[in-house]
Chain A
Amino acid sequence: MATTAEATEITVTEEPKLKPVDYKSDLKPIWCPGCGDYATLSAIHQSLARLGVPTHMVAVISGIGCSSRIPGYCATYGFNTIHGRALPIATGVKMANPELTVIAAGGDGDGLSIGGGHFPHAGRRNVDMTYIMMDNNIYGLTKGQVSPTTPAGDTTKSSPYGLGDRPLDAIQLALAYNVSYVARGFSGNIKHLVEMIYGGLSHKGFSFIHVASPCPTYRGIDRFKEYKERVVYLDDDHDATNPLTAYQAALRDDGKVPLGVFFKQERPTLTDNCEAISRKALANGQPTIEGIMDQFIP
């Protein structure tokens, strides 16, 4: 039987730490067997648990696509929105309540094609949120058409004679867009992926994690093996504070897919900037709603 002292000790211990499973919703994912998105989902749950943020303080926002189903599989607040618009919606969420941990998630088509116009601006605003792009080089939800990252020459349902267009490189774009945390993980290495996502969640500013997440259904089961052979890890002495070395690492032309944190920079976030603006705006005192009418008096 516990002594009184022990009982007291128990009541003052911290609340039980959240486990990855606590971030898992009751909905069962309907992804294809072998899909890289399972690993990414698990990595998100593990990263949130490591961060220890309560579920009600997390909002997971997505667009449309296979990977955009992810908010439904999290026991947090979630918003499965429309194609391409995860980033502006997530920005709105963060600005309305800066206390929240905000994750935007989606695929390569969602983020680089239909929603490609929002990525640069989330970067330049440095919205304090984490953007996870699960890149499977294909449109999976619509069953196998070309995506903006499908390699040139590939035949797909919408490129029966082979694709002429060149693929976009998400890491190079993120660096060009001045994203303040740029990293890549691989669905075949969850442990490393957790490091990348946890790093992004802990980063103050806009963090981007590109996840190589091969599609077994429309890209073939071999693609996973092929990726496994192609991935390499950035050197331990890679200088992630230097944009030049970050670009060099991203511009590899030996067919290898480097994983790791390419670039990381601390700079004021959109929230910081809004606070600074607010201080300037209040330099002459706080007006009243009624008093505003005086500015219309001639």
Chain B
Amino acid sequence: MDVRDFTVAVVGSGGDGAVTCGEMLTHAAAGEGLYCFMSKSFGPQIRGGESFSQIRMSEDMVLSQGDRVDALVVFSWPDFLRFKDEIELKPGAIVIHDETKNKDFPDGLPINEFLEPRIIHVPFTDLAEEAAGNSLAKNMVMLGAISEFFNLPVEGLKQSIAKKYKKKSAKIVESNCAAVEAGRKYVRDNHEVESMPRLSYEKSDTKMVMNGNEAVAYGALYAGCRFFAGYPITPSSEIMEWLSRELPRFGGVEVQTEDEMAAINMVIGASFAGAKAMTCTSGPGLSLMQEAIGLAAIAEIPCVIIDVQRVGPSTGIPTKSEQSDLLAALHGSHGDVSKVVLAAADVEDCFDVTCLAFYISEKYQVPVIVLSDQFIGQRMEAVPRIDLSKRKSFERIKPSIQEGEKYERFKIDNGGVSPMAVPGMEHCEYLASGIEHTESGSPTSAHSIHEMMNKKRFHKLDDIREDLTFVRRYGPEDAEVGVIGWGSSKGAIKEAILRAEKLGMKVAGLVPQIIHPIPYDKIDEFMKPLRRILVVEVSYAGQFYNYLKSYYPVPDKLMLYKRSGSKSLTVEEVFQQICHAMQSEYVL
């Protein structure tokens, strides 16, 4: 049975290498030119804990993690129970486990029997000991076995083994490949594969494999970021790690700070002195940075803040995703703060949105917060090479002041942006401050100046709204029902719309890249002709819905689908809501 789209989940304990297997499969797929999407999930332990990876691959663009798996590989059933909420089987799914373990469930395995899964025992451990002389190679046996069962890219797999272990030794590469072959042979000798869901695809050009955090870091480097300061926090630390390796190769500086307040303030200092600068964090760190974000806004200093959201509030669930930092990003600082909030929707978009953040920040001299989340940040995707020529960048406007001329840093000319001098430039010495100031930078407490300066700073948001007209809209022009969501919900929304389209439903989708200043006109244009509008978000409090409501006299035709995070949004749940919206009796 040929399939064009295949999803497999692998669950095990730390030593089983469930995540390593997922990464190798992803590399294998990308190596043969397939699109691929790998999400992973960990228990709270640092080492030796349970982990799970889910890999979906296809020749066609893969938009989401795949709601239900075609195949499930279980190294350990007790570990599987930790992820039971996150793994759903397709009817008749293939479940493969190691028969040399798993004596824990004498009354039957903890899976839904109504779905009539087909359970196959493969002695991974024994085969590994035979073929590689080491039971640790059982995950390689597994990879060989599933590549044989499901026609997964075996050449790509061997290449990725060679690349991963070449630094260790040729012998390790050899024994791992032997283990893969042992798995393949076992399946050939003992099983009939024709009835299995077998991936059908043509090889094409190799794709890159990136996670969202790497894409953010690369985007920043490309956009000209040469100063980074950050404090480690799950799930954002990979951004700092990547930049600590790459920035020094491009004349940049990375500093790991004592806390998040130091991080954002160093970034502001570096930008004040002329560097394009960025920090990254997750929810708890964003809370700590809020005061300084207000400083950047009033002192009109460009800076980029990446927030890879996790479940909140407080410590929440650090290793899982949620879209609940939205209101903190929008309204977290005290006072009237002119800042920009962008949202990345997938791995490739992490690169784009980070570039865009620097463009806006440098052009309009505002702090820009980019919201990513654990779901995008830590998942791997196969993406085509990035066409760098399409990405725009911007160099800050500097004043040209002659000796004897007076430089006014916050001069109000047309628009809100004034040329920005940096220390080292002659005749432009000025005072930047968090205290309200006049056009020349002198401290003031006058109402009239405060009013004028607020107007100047907020004027920039209007200009940004004019400048950036890009919105992601899906579906037909004559759609009846629309779905609005933001950030990482995009994949599930787009795929749900495509599914609805196939069934003859007219559904459109809108996922803005820029959340604040909200592109009113575009959203209004989208909403007007629709009979029903569904807002989808992973936030118990419905933060995005409330934000939209605060900007629109929203009609009754707005429906809300929201829930807590710690579980990725699925295509199925969005699709069900679309069906519900289609059937609802409301008529305009």
Contact = CB atoms under 8 A, between A and B. Distances in A.
B227 A96 contact: yes
B208 A92 contact: no
**Looking at A120, A270, A296, which has the most chain B CB atoms within 10 Å of its CB?**
A296
Nearest to B421: A77
Contacts of B273: 59, 92-94, 96-97, 100
A278 B254 CA distance: 11
Given A96-B269, A298-B30, A298-B156, A292 B275 contact: no
A237 to B, nearest CB: 37
A80 B431 contact: yes
B415 interface: no
B434 interface: yes
Contacts of A118: 258, 262
B424 A57 contact: yes
Interface stretch (A82-90, A130-138, A142-150, A251-259): A82-90
Nearest to B258: A121
A93 B388 contact: no
A214 interface: no
B306 interface: no
Range of interface residues on A (Cβ < 8 Å): 35 or more
Range of interface residues on B (Cβ < 8 Å): 35 or more
Contacts of A298: 26-28, 30-31, 156, 159-160, 163, 206, 208-209
B442 A61 contact: no
B179 interface: no
Interface in A55-111: 55-59, 61, 64, 71-72, 75-82, 84-85, 87-97, 99-100
B271 A92 contact: yes
Nearest to B249: A281
A9 interface: no
A292 B221 contact: yes
A286 interface: yes
Contacts of A281: 245, 248-249
Nearest to B28: A298
Interface stretch (B3-11, B54-62, B144-152, B291-299): B291-299
Contacts of B270: 92-93, 95-96
B255 to A, nearest CB: 7
A290 interface: yes
B423 interface: yes
A233 to B, nearest CB: 34
B144 to A, nearest CB: 18
Contacts of A71: 431, 433
Interface string B414-449: 000000001111111111111100000011000000
The 10 A-B residue pairs whose C-beta atoms are closest, nearest first, are A92-B269, A298-B27, A96-B273, A89-B269, A92-B270, A296-B208, A281-B248, A92-B266, A96-B275, A88-B265
Interface of B: 26-28, 30-31, 156, 159-160, 163, 206, 208-210, 214, 218, 221-222, 227, 229, 245-246, 248-251, 253, 255, 257-259, 261-263, 265-275, 277, 291-292, 295, 299, 385-386, 388, 422-435, 442-443
